[in-house]
Amino acid sequence: QQQVKQSPQSLIVQKGGISIINCAYENTAFDYFPWYQQFPGKGPALLIAIRPDVSEKKEGRFTISFNKSAKQFSLHIMDSQPGDSATYFCAAVQEGPWAGNMLTFGGGTRLMVKP
Amino acid sequence: DADVTQTPRNRITKTGKRIMLECSQTKGHDRMYWYRQDPGLGLQLIYYSFDVKDINKGEISDGYSVSRQAQAKFSLSLESAIPNQTALYFCATSDPSGTGNEQFFGPGTRLTVL
């Protein structure tokens, strides 16, 4: 049973549009929610992350929205560009000295931004 | 001069063969991880190691083994490869006392088992 469910699996957006990727989690002990970006032939790299004490975090064109009561969070990419074409993974972490930074990943979303 | 390197980058092998995937890092991190990536399933944790003397199973360790030869080296072995182990394999490192929860991934190894 996947603890973090991600949708959609693939997404096509026109240049300049808004890309939205959604994730839902089961375990209420999760307390750190990162998004990773992966380009073809590369490993994933941290893009942006949020903790549940805030409902939104913005870094440039990338925004995470977080709904603790619904156990959902989403990534919004404003003014999407062809260079944003990549696979995006949401993840969840249960922090604490014994937890070991264990990332639980969603299934990934392949984003294509058309010129 | 990548911080996390993996060798080989691509490997094709036959069912029943023993395979070793190697990971080296120059980040000085104590914690290292092995993941496999399958379409639609994200990344699943195979094994992880918090230091040279510590090895732990992840969610999908069956059919795999690991060796932590040094702080900088963490190898993944498939003792007898089978076709459903065809996947992308990633090594990662982290440093909770430094960069917190962030994990740093290598470029991956694409393994095909015929």
What would the pLDDT profile of A3-30 be if each residue is shown by its tens digit? 899 999 999 999 999 999 999 999 988 9
pLDDT tens sequence for chain B (114 residues): 569 999 999 999 999 999 999 999 999 999 999 999 998 788 999 999 999 999 999 999 999 999 999 999 999 999 999 999 999 999 999 987 777 788 999 999 999 999
- Residue B43 to residue A89, Cβ atoms within 8 A: yes
- Cβ proximity of A31 and A90 under 8 Å: no
pLDDT digits (tens, 9 = 90+) for A45-83: 999 999 989 999 999 999 999 999 999 999 999 999 999
- Asked whether B19 and B78 are in contact (CB, 8 A), the reply is yes
**Closest chain A residue to the Cα of B38, Cα to Cα:** A107
User: Is the predicted pLDDT of residue A101 greater than 70, yes or no?
Assistant: no
Neighbour-count burial of B15, counting CB atoms closer than 10 A to its CB (0-12 exposed, 13-18 middle, 19+ buried): exposed
Span A94-115, mean pLDDT?
84
Residue A43 and residue B48: Cβ atoms within 8 Å? Answer: no
The residues, any chain, with a CB within 8 Å of residue B62's CB and separated by 6 or more, are none
Distance, CA of B20 to CA of A21 (rounded, Å): 36
B4 interaction partners in chain A (CB closer than 8 Å): 43
Q: What is the pLDDT of residue B20?
A: 97
Q: Considering only alpha carbons, which residue of chain B is nearest residue A108? A: B42
Confidence category of residue A1, pLDDT binned at 50, 70, 90 = low
pLDDT higher than threshold 70 for residue A2: no
Residue of A nearest to B95 (CA): A101
Structure tokens at A68: 């603790």
State the pLDDT at residue B62: 95
Residue ranges in B3-114 assigned as alpha helix (H): none
* Per-residue pLDDT at A43 exceeds 70: yes
